[in-house]
Amino acid sequence: APQAQPNPPKTDIRTEAAKQPEVVQTADLAAKLQGIEAKSSLKVEQVSNNQSQALLTGTLSLDAFVDFKQPLKATLTVRNPSTQAVALRYHSGMTADLLLTTVQGKRLWAWSDDMMFTQALRDTQLAAGEELVVRFAIPAKALAGIPNEGAHLEAQFAAKALESELPAMAPVVYLLTLE
């Protein structure tokens, strides 16, 4: 006669989830997102933009902030204000990067973190008056990582000027704070 199998003991799903770090991290992120949902807006202040010390000018614009569940779109516009073309060299396929750091400088997120770029030199020119536009999306999880004292959002142009000691473009830095 077949023997009856004893019922396995019931497992508390919360205990099992706690044993899996990625589940705990997801739960922590969800809790953090719930906490910042009470904050309804993102305040943006320009911190630095030393355009006079570079060949090209950079402006960073952010789309309207909707909420902490959606990515925030950002656009970097690099412009050559001079009457001469500027020769540029890129050391990879990356044209620009966007970084989110604490006010103390600890890196929280970078657009390039999840990207792969060709490792080849690339020489080009930006003609007089010409603009180059680079678009980014800042994911909700990066926005959720903004500490109470705020974070710096920094746009960096990857090219180096070939015929000048000046930087091609000075970084554009904003302070982002939750309100």
Flag whether pLDDT at 17 surpasses 50: no
Indicate if the pLDDT at residue 105 is higher than 70: yes
Phi, psi angles (nearest 5°) of residue 30:
-60, -45
Starting at the edge strand found earlier in the chain, the sheet holding 86-90 runs: 122-126, 86-90, 160-161
Confidence of residue 119 (pLDDT cuts 50, 70, 90): confident
Q: What is the pLDDT of residue 18?
A: 41
Cβ proximity of 155 and 76 under 8 Å: yes
> Taking the CB of residue 174, how many other CB atoms lie within 10 A of it?
20
Q: Is the pTM of this model over 0.85?
A: no
Q: Which residues contact 67 (CB under 8 A, 6 or more apart)?
A: 37
User: Mean pLDDT over residues 65-80, rounded?
Assistant: 90
pLDDT average, residue stretch 46-74: 86
CB 160 within 8 A of CB 166: no
Distances (CA, A) of 16 to 7, 24, 158: 19, 10, 45
